[in-house]
Amino acid sequence: MTQTNKSTEPLFRDFESEKLNLPNRTVMAPMTRGFSPDNVPGEDVAAYYRRRAENGVGLIVTEGTGINHPASVSGASIPLFHGEEPLKGWADVVNEVHEAGGKIAPQLWHVGMTRKKGDMPNEDAHPVGPSGLSLDGEQVNEPLTEKEIEELVQAYAQAAADAKRLGFDAIEIHGAHGYLIDQFFWEQTNKRTDRYGGDVVGRTQFAVEIVEACRREVGPDFPIIFRFSQWKMNDFQAKLATTPDELERFLKPLVKAGVDIFHCSTRRFWEAEFEGADLNLAGWTKKLTGKPVISVGSVGLNGEFTSFSSTEATSLDGLIERLDQGEFDLIAVGRSLLQDPEWVRKVEEGQENDLLPFDKAALSKLY
Ligand SMILES: Cc1cc2nc3c(=O)[nH]c(=O)nc-3n(C[C@H](O)[C@H](O)[C@H](O)COP(=O)(O)O)c2cc1C
């Protein structure tokens, strides 16, 4: 392991923003685990999140959890965010995390066209998307109607209301990685000619309506985090914006709709997003919107998030330097925290040699 030479103090400064305050700059990145039988998060899931809270994670963002729509998730072990049993499970998760002194936001998710017909929990549900196109451009279904879009917006809003009612500290809307909301953002999957399509602003309309509807449900003081990415699950080189100007046009409507914090998903946090400046996607987003931002991507690891392969642990110097310079406000940690629930505490206490490198075997257990 390459030694961290800088003081980790910048990682452990308070984070204060208009609606969300945290004791440090660490966020647990949302990670689908598939340990919720019958789509219900159980005691082991609650204990898994509690363990991270006990060990100092500033904010936990849960794995993606399905809004109330028959095709929102693919799989019987992915937690839902509607219905009595799943919501009871989530209430227990919130209680455990709060008891341990942590904060937590559910990641509200709809997979859109990445779903295959026949997937559980609703085998007959067809995948839905702006133009009925798969990420590879295959026509799989009819485009969503305006009425169906309205119902989807309402399902996100209901989830937001439930999150607040259950005591969550914020919500994160999953607008990244080629899932439903991102399928509206992306030219390749959105060929609509109505107000939900067309230029970059039209393609944000679905997300804008979701954010506005969530805001109406949760009121002015509840934090809404919005996660987006350039990359898609099937195309790591994909771009929604190729210049800062385009990025600004994309972000402006989302700010106006009421997003409080942007979570800018990249696979390597140290990479410049556009030529001519060192800023990463989070850095640009902060500069263009003035909003607090969360960065992410291979923290503490020398292997990027691609095929969930094992990697070595690596120095935190580059991360600390960028945080200290204010390029971004918060840093999400994925695989390092999946592997090692004590990752944050060990970093804070200087136990660098005890950090466990990511081993893909960790994916098959919930510890
Ligand atoms: C097992 C696993 C499941 C993931 N599931 C989600 C998810 O449900 N929602 C999401 O937005 N990102 C998901 N991601 C991406 C992570 O949030 C994160 O952006 C990515 O792992 C890069 O961070 P890392 O390099 O620190 O692992 C997942 C990543 C992993 C490894």
Domains of the chain: 9-354 (3.20.20.70)
Assess whether the previous peptide bond of 121 is cis (omega < 30° from 0): yes
| pLDDT given at position 98 | 98
Assess whether pLDDT exceeds 90 at residue 310.
Answer: no
Q: Which atom of ligand 1 is nearest to 64's Cα?
A: 8
Assess whether pLDDT exceeds 60 at residue 279.
Answer: yes
| pLDDT given at position 178 | 98
Average pLDDT, the chain: 95
Assess whether pLDDT exceeds 80 at residue 312.
Answer: no
Mark whether 179 is an active-site residue. yes
| pLDDT given at position 301 | 86
Assess whether the previous peptide bond of 10 is cis (omega < 30° from 0): no
Assess whether pLDDT exceeds 60 at residue 318.
Answer: yes
Assess whether pLDDT exceeds 70 at residue 304.
Answer: no
Q: Tokens 């440090």 label which residue?
A: 24
Assess whether pLDDT exceeds 60 at residue 307.
Answer: no
Assess whether pLDDT exceeds 80 at residue 306.
Answer: no
Assign 38 to helix, strand or coil.
helix
CA 32 / ligand 1 centre spacing (Å): 7
| pLDDT given at position 303 | 62
pLDDT, mean of residues 32-50: 98
At 6-33, the pLDDT tens digits run: 899 999 999 999 999 999 999 999 999 9
> What's the pLDDT band for 352 if we cut at 50, 70, 90?
confident
| pLDDT given at position 357 | 83
CA 297 / ligand 1 centre spacing (Å): 9
Joined together, the tokens standing for residue 264 give 């800018």
How many whole angstroms separate alpha carbon 254 and alpha carbon 243? 18
> Under a CB-based contact definition with an 8 Å cutoff, are residues 367 and 48 in contact?
yes
What residues line ligand 1, using a CB cutoff of 6 Å? 29-32, 63-64, 107, 174, 176-177, 227, 265, 296-299, 301, 305, 308, 333-336, 363
Where residue 86 falls (left for φ over 0; alpha for ψ -120 to 50; beta otherwise) is alpha
Assess whether pLDDT exceeds 70 at residue 309.
Answer: no
| pLDDT given at position 356 | 84
CA 271 / ligand 1 centre spacing (Å): 18
Which of 49, 179, 196, 367 is catalytic? The answer is 179
In this structure, the residue with its CA closest to atom 2 of ligand 1 is 31
Nearest to 194 by CA among 258, 132, 143: 143
| pLDDT given at position 305 | 60
